[in-house]
Amino acid sequence: MSILVDESTRIICQGITGKAGLFHTQNCRDYAAECGRNPAEVVVGGVTPGKGGTEIDGFPVFDTVEQAVAKTGANCTMIFVPPPFAADAIMEAADAGVGLIIAITEGIPVLDMVRARKFLEGYPESRLVGPNCPGVITPGVAKIGIMPGYIHNPGTVGLVSRSGTLTYEGVWQLGNEGMGQSTAVGIGGDPVNGTNFIDCLELFQADPGTDAILMMGEIGGNAEEQAAEYVKQHVTKPVAAFIAGRTAPPGKRMGHAGAIISGGSGTAAEKIKALEAAGIEVAESPADMGAAMKRAIEKAG
Amino acid sequence: MKIHEYQAKQLLAKAGVPVPKGIVAKTPDEAVAAFEELGGTIAVVKSQIHAGGRGKGRFKEEPEQPGVVLVRSADEARANAERMLGNTLVTIQTGDEGKQVNTLYVEQGLDIANELYLGCVVDREAGSPVLIVSSEGGMEIETVAHETPEKIHHIPFDADGGLPTFQAVKLAYRLGLPPNAVKSARKFLVKFARFVVDNDCSMAEINPLVVTGDGEMVALDAKVSFDENAMFRHQDFLELRDLSEENEAEIKAGAAGLSYVDLDGNIGCLVNGAGLAMSTMDLVQLHGGSPANFLDVGGGANVEQVTEAFRIILADDNVKAVLVNIFGGIMKCDVIVTALLEAYEKVGFTVPLVVRLEGTNVELARTMLAESGRDIVTATDLTDAAQKVVGSLSA
Residue B169 has pLDDT above 70, yes or no: yes
Please provide the average confidence, as pLDDT, over all residues in chain B.
93
Interchain CB distance below 8 Å, B294 and A248? yes
Q: Name which of A54, A37, A229, A38 is nearest A140 in CA terms.
A: A37
Closest alpha carbon within chain B to A197: B125
Edge-first strand listing for the sheet containing B267-271: B259-262, B293-296, B267-271, B321-328, B353-359, B376-379
Q: What letter would DSSP give residue B15?
A: T
B267 and B385 together in one domain = yes
Q: Please tell me the distance in Å from B272's CA to the nearest CA on chain A.
A: 7
How many contacts (CB atoms, under 8 Å) link A and B? 174
Last residue of a domain, one of B93, B108, B123: B108
pLDDT tens, position by position, A37-58: 999 999 999 999 999 999 999 9
* CA atoms of B117 and B205, how far apart (whole Å): 8
What confidence tens digit (pLDDT) does each residue in B194-211 have?
999 999 999 999 999 999
Residue with the bigger pLDDT between B222 and B343: it is B222
Task: Answer whether residue B395 shows pLDDT above 70.
Answer: no
Stretch B302-315: mean pLDDT, rounded?
89
Note whether residue B9 is domain-resident: no
Indicate the pLDDT class of residue B332, thresholds 50, 70 and 90: confident
Q: How close B128 gets to chain A, by Cα (Å)?
A: 6
Q: Which chain A residues are Cβ-neighbours of B330 within 8 angstroms?
A: 23-24, 27, 146-148
Final residue in a domain of this structure, among B215, B239, B263: B239
Per-residue model confidence (pLDDT) at position B181: 96
Residues B31, B158, single domain; the answer is no
pLDDT at A252: 86
- For residue B336, list chain A residues with Cβ-Cβ distance below 8 A: none
Same domain, B369 and B253: yes
- Confidence (pLDDT) at B2: 94
Quick check: A244 and B278 CB within 8 A? yes
In CATH, what number is assigned to the domain containing residue B83? 3.30.1490.20
Strands (E), B180-307: 201-212, 217-219, 223-226, 259-262, 267-271, 293-296
Residues B268 and B378 in one domain: yes
Higher pLDDT, B287 or B334: B287
The structure's pTM equals: 0.94
Do the domain assignments include residue B3? no
Distance (Å, whole) CA B262 – CA B284: 15
Supply the pLDDT for residue B190. Answer: 97
CB nearest to A169's CB, from B160, B200, B327: B327
Q: Are B178 and B112 in contact, with CB atoms under 8 Å apart? A: no
Q: Is residue B2 part of a domain?
A: no
In a domain, B10, yes or no: no
**Domain containing residue B126: CATH number:** 3.30.470.20
Same domain, residue pair B86 and B133: no
Backbone CA torsion sign across A283, A288, A293, A298: negative
| Domain co-membership, B218 together with B126 | yes
Give the pLDDT confidence score for residue A251 in this predicted structure. 84
Cβ–Cβ gap A245/B278 under 8 Å: yes
What confidence tens digit (pLDDT) does each residue in A56-86 have?
999 999 999 999 999 999 999 999 999 999 9
Question: Over the stretch B296-308, which tens digit does the pLDDT of each residue have?
Answer: 988 766 788 888 9
The verdict on B76 and B127 lying in the same domain is no
| CATH number of the domain encompassing residue B374 | 3.40.50.261
Q: What is the DSSP letter of B98?
A: -
Question: pLDDT at position B33, please?
Answer: 97
CB-hemisphere CA count at 13 Å for B234? 21
In a domain, B5, yes or no: no
What is the amino acid identity at position B200? D
Nearest to A59 by CA among A76, A39, A82, A78: A39
pLDDT in tens, B209-221: 999 999 999 999 9
* Within a domain: B166: yes
Q: Give the model's pLDDT for residue B136.
A: 86
B28 in any annotated domain: yes
Strand order, beta sheet including A181-186: A142-145, A135-138, A181-186, A154-161, A212-218, A239-244, A281-282
d(C-alpha A48, C-alpha A51), whole Å = 6
Judge: A285–B274 Cβ closer than 8 Å, yes or no. no
Residue B104, CA distances (Å) to B9, B26, B87, B90, B225 in order:
14, 6, 12, 15, 19
Flag if B282 and A285 touch (Cβ within 8 Å). Answer: yes
| Same domain, yes or no: B227 and B338 | no
Chain A residue numbers with beta carbons less than 8 Å from the beta carbon of B382 are 169, 285-287
**CB-nearest partner of A148 from B159, B160, B359:** B359
Q: Final residue of a domain: which of B190, B207, B239?
A: B239
Whether residue B28 is found in the same domain as residue B98: yes
Residue B325 lies inside a defined structural domain of this protein? yes
Considering the domain architecture, whether residues B127 and B94 belong to the same structural domain is answered as no
**DSSP codes of every residue in A23-77:** HHHHHHHHHHHHTTS-HHHHEEEEE-TT-TT-EETTEEEESSHHHHHHHH---EE
Which residues in chain A have their CB less than 8 angstroms from residue B122's CB?
Answer: 110-111, 114, 191-192
A-interface mutation test, from B279, B290, B356, most A Cβ less than 10 A away = B279
One domain, residues B117 and B100:
no
Mean pLDDT of B376-393: 94
Length of chain B: 395
Range of the structural domain that residue B53 is part of: 21-108
Which regions in chain A score pLDDT beneath 70? none
pLDDT category at B328 given cuts 50, 70, 90 is confident
Under 8 Å between Cβ of A291 and A173: yes
In a shared domain, residues B294 and B194: no
Catalytic residue check, B105: no
- Provide the domain count of chain B: 3
pLDDT above 70 for B224: yes
